[in-house]
């Protein structure tokens, strides 16, 4: 429609120009019969026609366009070209009129051809080659599209209040995304205007990764395996910071106990060596915390270590090394037995080729001067008195000399030989045991003096379940001999583990279960009598006195 108006307007202007030219009395003329120059008038008409063409769109249709911003600025080349062409056309028309006045038909024809050519070029430039480019009307804020029929409004707010409306829709502020900027990038929290992360995500990493200690497989909601996932210690809003029992957190900070120069495991809660069988079951891991019943963070009942915990083992007596390996020579009870009392424990590390770390290998005994070993990692470590093993001059306690070598006595070396640590016996020079037979301190028998001498002795451990206590053979109350009548004042049976074992095997005679029931009138089963080990069960019509004897 606009093109049709422009064509009609041009035709009207051209008609008027020619009419003015041939009329000769309308522009810059006098009312006379003489010819008058009209070149400037024709040029003026052409110039006015051009500007009328420019402003035509403002009059033929309602609009909100501005001349400078919407017409001239986007059509600068077109405007300049058209002005020059119209100026040239006007000049040629004026010259043609001058040639006619001078009756120079040839030159006048040339000027008319040039003027028509210039005018034709004007139309071609304006309508075809460089047409007018009128910018579309800008949309009201909050709307966009060629017809301004699309909107950026949602809930009566432009772009949710987090962006501006552009020619293609919402242009979101930083960290906001979505058609209406209604979401955050990554895991930023929309309720905080995308200024903070959703629970469990790290702001340091633009909310793309879990905070330290949180498990990605749970959308960062739960703590990793090594952390105490308890709101009393690890507040869900503060993150996972407390390692659970038998875990520690190595760090690259040399000022704290968990310093690790190479940070092999990362700054995360890491299991102590051998977890869950920490320290090989013979030590305590120097771990992050140990909550007590009151909920306080304690280590060994005293204090919280936190980052001071280095994850190393504090071994029980008789165990050493990173994994609490049993010390050479240790008999399980006596600290003196380590290295058979004549050496010290050393840890051996080795650095393999192309490896920057030294790796623990084993522990061994470094013997004192004058002592040596067949195996510095064995039970007989430092048992030989001499400078070269195989040429031993003598042996330490618990070993005997045989062909220049020190061999452990029955029951084990050092204090375990012949049950010596509880007074069971003494190792002889030939490697045999001489057992103790006392109704006052204990009676023993057997190859290593580890059995009770007779049925009137009982294993003290039967009444003392402490695993660290040795199994001593204790005489029954009033025991003076092996017969049942030699204990309990002669009027009862002493219940011992050896006696119950013989009854279980069907022993007959004066020391049988049947005899016991007949004389004592006791109906307890053998299994029930196991609870009475070390006490006397009196004959019928007798009772225990204050000394535990039957009278």
So what's the pLDDT on residue 292? 67
End-to-end CA distance of the chain: 138
Strand partners, 344: 366
State the 10-residue block means of pLDDT for the chain, 551 residues long: 61 63 46 44 58 59 62 72 78 80 81 83 72 70 90 94 94 95 95 92 90 88 81 62 85 72 70 88 86 65 76 91 91 88 92 74 92 89 88 90 90 89 91 92 91 90 57 90 91 91 89 91 89 91 90 87
Angle at 57 between CA 51 and CA 61, to 5 degrees: 150
Whole-number Å distance between alpha carbons of 75 and 426:
121
Q: Which residue has the tokens 């070209």?
A: 81
Supply φ then ψ for residue 163, to 5 degrees. Answer: 180, 180
Q: Is omega for the bond preceding 276 within 30 degrees of 0, making it cis?
A: yes
Tokens of 380: 């007989």
C-alpha 19: how far from chain center: 92
**Any residues with CB less than 8 A from the CB of 246 and at least 6 apart, and which?**
271, 272, 275, 276, 278, 285, 287
SS3 state of residue 293: coil
CB 112 within 8 A of CB 89: no
So what's the pLDDT on residue 270? 87
Tokens of 352: 């393999």
CB 427 within 8 A of CB 417: yes
So what's the pLDDT on residue 130? 63
Residues found in the chain: 551
User: Which run of H or of E encompasses 502?
Assistant: helix 497-504
Query: Which ranges of 177-317 would DSSP assign to H, the alpha helix?
Result: none
C-alpha dist (Å) from residue 527 to 495, 497, 518, 523, 530: 12, 11, 18, 12, 5
Helix axes 2-23, 76-101, angle to 10 degrees: 20
- Structure-derived torsion over alpha carbons of residues 353, 355, 361, 364, reported in degrees to the nearest 10: 70
So what's the pLDDT on residue 326? 92
Burial class (CB in 10 A: 0-12, 13-18, 19+), 178: middle
Beta strands in 152-292 (DSSP E): 153-154, 157-158, 163-166, 169-172, 176-177, 183-184, 247-248, 270-271, 283-285, 290-291
CB 151 within 8 A of CB 160: no
So what's the pLDDT on residue 221? 85
SS3 state of residue 176: strand
Whole-number Å distance between alpha carbons of 256 and 288:
12
224 C-beta neighbours (distance < 10 Å), count: 18
Tokens of 22: 């041939």
Q: Which residue has the tokens 């019969």?
A: 33
So what's the pLDDT on residue 35? 41
Q: Which residue has the tokens 């299994």?
A: 527
| DSSP state for residue 251 in the 8-state scheme | B
CB 367 within 8 A of CB 382: yes
So what's the pLDDT on residue 30? 46
C-alpha dist (Å) from residue 341 to 285, 372, 409, 410: 27, 12, 16, 19
* pTM, full prediction: 0.59
139 C-beta neighbours (distance < 10 Å), count: 18
So what's the pLDDT on residue 28? 42
Whole-number Å distance between alpha carbons of 146 and 138:
10
So what's the pLDDT on residue 348? 92
So what's the pLDDT on residue 25? 44
For the stretch 9-45, pLDDT in tens is 666 666 666 555 555 444 444 444 444 444 445 555 5
C-alpha dist (Å) from residue 497 to 434, 457, 473, 500, 527: 23, 8, 10, 5, 11
Whole-number Å distance between alpha carbons of 492 and 550:
6
Tokens of 461: 């451990």
CB 195 within 8 A of CB 188: yes
32 C-beta neighbours (distance < 10 Å), count: 8
So what's the pLDDT on residue 33? 41
For the stretch 403-461, pLDDT in tens is 888 999 998 888 889 999 888 999 998 999 999 999 988 899 999 998 999 999 998 76
SS3 state of residue 490: helix
CB 274 within 8 A of CB 282: no
């Amino acid at each position: 429609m606009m093109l049709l108006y422009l064509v009609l307007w041009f035709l009207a202007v051209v008609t008027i120009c020619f009419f003015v030219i041939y009329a000769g009395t309308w522009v810059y003329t006098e009312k006379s019969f003489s010819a008058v120059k009209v070149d400037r008038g024709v040029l003026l008409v052409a110039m006015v026609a051009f500007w009328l063409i420019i402003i035509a769109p403002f009059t033929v249709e309602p609009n909100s366009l501005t001349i400078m911003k919407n017409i001239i600025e986007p059509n600068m080349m077109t405007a300049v070209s058209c002005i020059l062409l119209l100026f040239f056309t006007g000049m040629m028309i004026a010259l043609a009129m001058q040639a006619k006045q001078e009756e120079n038909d040839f030159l006048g024809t040339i000027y008319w051809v040039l003027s028509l050519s210039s005018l034709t070029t004007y139309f071609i430039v304006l309508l075809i080659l460089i047409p007018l480019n009128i910018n579309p009307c800008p949309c009201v804020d909050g709307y966009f599209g060629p017809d301004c029929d699309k909107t950026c409004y949602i809930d009566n707010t432009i772009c949710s209040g987090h962006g501006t409306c552009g020619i293609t829709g919402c242009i979101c502020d930083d960290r906001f995304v979505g058609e209406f900027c209604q979401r955050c990038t990554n895991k930023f929290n929309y309720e905080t205007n995308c200024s903070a992360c959703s629970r469990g995500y790290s702001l340091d990493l633009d909310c793309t990764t879990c905070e330290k200690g949180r498990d990605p497989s749970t959308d960062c909601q739960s703590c990793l395996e090594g952390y105490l996932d308890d709101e009393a210690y690890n507040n869900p809003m503060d993150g996972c910071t407390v390692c659970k029992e038998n875990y520690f957190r190595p760090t690259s900070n040399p000022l704290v106990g968990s310093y690790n120069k190479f940070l092999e495991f990362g700054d995360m809660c890491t299991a102590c060596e051998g977890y869950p069988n920490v320290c090989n079951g013979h030590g305590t891991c120097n771990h992050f915390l140990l909550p007590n019943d009151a909920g306080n963070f304690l280590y060994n009942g005293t204090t919280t270590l936190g980052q001071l915990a280095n994850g190393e083992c504090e071994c029980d007596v008789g165990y050493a090394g990173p994994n609490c390996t049993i010390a050479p020579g240790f008999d399980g009870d006596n600290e003196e037995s380590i290295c058979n009392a004549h050496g010290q424990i050393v840890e051996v590390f080795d650095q393999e080729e192309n490896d920057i770390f030294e790796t623990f290998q084993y522990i061994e005994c470094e013997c004192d001067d004058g002592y040596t070993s067949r195996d510095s990692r064995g039970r007989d470590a430092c048992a030989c008195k001499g400078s070269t093993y195989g040429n031993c001059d003598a042996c330490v306690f618990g070993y005997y000399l045989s062909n220049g070598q020190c061999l452990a006595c029955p029951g084990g070396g050092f204090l375990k030989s012949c049950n010596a640590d509880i007074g069971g016996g003494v190792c002889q020079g030939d490697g045999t045991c001489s057992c103790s037979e006392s109704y006052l301190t204990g009676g023993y028998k057997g190859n290593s003096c580890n059995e009770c001498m007779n049925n009137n002795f009982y294993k003290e451990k039967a009444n003392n379940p402490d695993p660290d206590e040795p199994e001593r053979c204790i005489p029954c109350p009033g025991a003076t001999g092996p017969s049942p009548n030699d204990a309990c004042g002669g009027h009862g049976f002493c219940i011992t583990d050896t006696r119950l074992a013989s009854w279980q095997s069907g022993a007959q005679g004066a020391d049988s279960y049947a005899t016991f029931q007949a004389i004592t009138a006791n109906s307890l089963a053998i299994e029930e009598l196991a609870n009475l080990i070390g006490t006397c069960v009196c004959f019928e019509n007798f009772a225990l006195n204050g000394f535990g004897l039957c009278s």
